[in-house]
Amino acid sequence: MAKTSVVYVCQSCGWKSLKWVGRCGGCGEWDSTVEEYSNDSVGATSLSAMLDRQLPIPITEIKLQDCPCIEMGISEFDRILGGGLVVGSAVLIGGTPGIGKSTLLLQVCQHVSQKGYTTLYVTGEESVAQTKLRAERLSVLSPKLLVVSETNLDFILENIHNTHPTLVVIDSIQMIYKPQLESSPGTVAQVRQCANELIFTAKSTGSAIFLVGHVTKQGIIAGPKVLEHMADTVLYFEGEKFQCYRILRVVKNRFGSTDEIGIFEMRKNGLHPVDNPSEIFISQGMRVGAGSTIIPCMEGTRALLLEIQALATKATFGMPERKVSGVDYNRVSMLLAILEKRIGLKLGGQDIFVNIVGGVHVYEPAADLGIAMTIASSFKEKPIPPDMVVIGEVGLGGEVRSVNQIEIRLKEAQRLGFKRAVIPKDNAKGLGKDFGIELIEICYLSEVVEIIG
């Protein structure tokens, strides 16, 4: 007989307690434990389960499917997934409300269904009529695209087994519930169990599945962390509220690189991939003001030219301010200390503001040299040549260290018409051909400051 017991489960990490506590003992979150009912039953394994289990076989005897990967026709989406949609894979996509997750996945269903594959869109947050209104606006009209409004997991699994779709979209996983569980939809127990059964169904039937996940106020996908461990690919949809560009970032991918990003432009008829993103992240025309330069950054296999701006102004109040957008605050603080200690710039009484144009976030150390040059340029009121790009990592001793994939960065700069590039001297040793761009080799940060004047 099954035994029903009451447990208190943390909705942030899944930690369990036999009594209610104000603070979670696992993650330390306050007021996050919710009462749930669990059925504990211990029994022997059924005969059908023993007959259905798989036995170990040599890897050389495993047969692959004829079409293990399906190109969806959306260039940015195919690239970040590793070439296309892998049959039987589970993809988790999260993002803030209104960012465009449902819009993008509805367009994905349209492209896949136009290739002759059956797709199933399960919506738990709106009716089929509301989905049809959005589909008409996006010109998503295909007889191979099936839509159902359902939140009961048992009925969803029944629909998957009956229709045999190539692609299934669950929008969203927090709305799906399993009737056998006593807890309400969106709780840790429901999300974990529903995702587990949906992913198992994807592996057994060969239907690829997209799970839409809500995000918390901390910016992470709501529910247990095991949700991201179970999925094959985890994507985050990012974007500024007042800008039309959206960035789809990969944080986990079993079938490709985890450093890729996809850039889309939101229009009235849906999301459209941006083929040349470097042009949208740099200002149009020539830059004549001080405190602005271009840095080539790597996002996976793609080089992006980004404009970085800095403003140094005398602090009018007692404590100088340090504000950054798009870069690491601690990294900027380190560069300010290097500029003051090694170069002699008196930045202690200056308000410093650093910004990456376009709402992009840069994490790689290759942007150090560009940040340092823009701060020095703004402080000295000397503009950086507008036809120059800057690449390099800065060490604590003021030395400029080499960066990876220098050739790809220089090719992108040359393609967009830049004439000069400041690069580390160590990187110049491995360059064996002319890129049509003048290379300025440096070893120390002081040499870069001399370029500014």
What per-residue confidence (pLDDT) applies to 187? 81
pLDDT number for residue 208 = 94
CA atoms within 13 A on the CB side of 200: 8
Q: Does domain 68-275 have CATH number 3.40.1030.10?
A: no
With residue 323 as reference, give the H or E element that holds it: strand 322-325
Report yes or no: 392 and 401 within 8 Å, Cβ to Cβ: yes
Q: Is 349 annotated as ligand-binding?
A: no
CB atoms within 10 A of CB 296: 28
96 marked as binding residue: yes
**Which residues is 441 bridged to in the sheet?**
423
For residue 38, what pLDDT is reported?
Answer: 63
* 82 annotated binding-site participant: no
Opening angle at CA 239, ends 233 and 244, nearest 5 = 125
Ligand-binding annotation for 205, yes or no, is no
Kindly give the pairing relationship between strand 85-86 and strand 208-213: unpaired
Total number of residues shown for the chain: 453
Q: Is 98 known to sit in a ligand binding site? A: yes
Three-class DSSP category at 40: strand
Helix (H) or strand (E) segment spanning residue 293: strand 292-299
- What lies within 8 Å, CB to CB, of 58 at 6+ separation is none
pLDDT at 453: 64
Indicate the domain borders of the chain.
Answer: 3-40, 68-275, 282-452
Res 132: pLDDT: 93
- Please indicate if the annotation marks 346 as binding a ligand: no
Tell whether residue 100 is among the known ligand binding residues.
yes
Which ranges of 165-265 does DSSP label H, i.e. alpha helix?
A: 188-205, 226-230
What is the per-residue pLDDT for 4? 60
14 is in an annotated binding site: no
Using CB atoms within 10 Å of the CB of residue 288, give its burial: 0 to 12 exposed, 13 to 18 middle, 19+ buried.
Answer: exposed
pLDDT for 242 equals 67
Report how far residue 412's alpha carbon sits from residue 423's, in angstroms, rounded to the nearest whole number.
14
Residue 46 has a pLDDT of 45
Closest CA to 371 of 328, 412, 408: 328
pLDDT, tens digit only, all 453 positions of the chain: 455 677 888 877 778 888 889 898 888 888 888 777 665 544 444 444 444 567 888 988 887 766 578 888 888 898 888 888 888 999 999 988 888 899 999 999 999 999 999 999 999 989 999 999 999 999 888 999 999 999 999 999 999 999 999 999 999 899 999 988 877 888 888 888 899 999 999 988 989 999 998 887 666 776 667 788 889 999 998 876 667 888 888 889 998 888 788 889 888 888 998 888 887 777 654 555 789 999 999 887 788 899 999 999 998 877 899 999 999 999 999 999 999 999 999 998 999 999 998 778 888 999 999 999 999 999 999 999 888 999 999 999 999 999 998 999 999 999 888 999 999 999 888 776 677 889 999 999 988 877 776
Strands 233-239 and 245-253 come out as: antiparallel
**CATH classification code of 282-452:** 3.30.230.10
Residues sharing a CB contact under 8 Å with residue 335, sequence separation 6 or more, in sequence order? 368, 371, 372, 375, 394
